[in-house]
Structure 1
Amino acid sequence: MDTHIIDTSTCPVCGASNRCTLADPRTVDQACWCFTVAIDPEVLAALPEAVRGQACLCPQCAGVEAKRRDAS
């Protein structure tokens, strides 16, 4: 049995805060930042099976920050 507990407030790739509003009881009624961006399906597919769908990526690991920098 896997007893590893996923921390839903941290990115499963780098361990930084994922800024997920759904993981924070104070902001659970607000839409998460990831609801308004497109995350490359290849980025999601590269995640280990054990963490898929368990916690949000942070904007950097999701590739969102790089896209914003490129657009500026």
Structure 2
Amino acid sequence: MSACSTVDPCLCPLCGQANRCAMEASPGQATEPCWCTREQFTAALLQQIPAAAKGKACICQACVQKAAQTT
């Protein structure tokens, strides 16, 4: 199996850094909402996610903020 065929849900699919998604780090546990629930994800940003990672890995906060600065 190729390393590229496996998506790590804890890594940003755009930059490869830790996405620090609280929902992925502790699935099913009642914790404080993740930072991502307070962010705006533009359609243009979401379109950059590779098809293999869609619905499987969260974009990191740095990539979300970088996209917000360029729009």
TM-score of the alignment, normalized to the shorter chain, above 0.5? yes
> Unaligned stretches of 5+ in structure 2?
none
> Unaligned stretches of 5+ in structure 1?
none
Aligned position for 1:41: 43
Q: CA RMSD in A?
A: 2.7
- Segments ≥4 residues shifted beyond 3 Å: none
After TM superposition, the score normalised by the length of structure 2 is 0.72
Residues 12-44 of structure 1: per-residue CA shift (max 9 Å, x gap): 111111010011128943321111111111100
Corresponding pairs, count? 66
Aligned position for 2:34: 32
After TM superposition, the score normalised by the length of structure 1 is 0.71
Higher relative contact order (CA 8 A, sep 6+): 2
Percent identity of equivalent pairs: 30
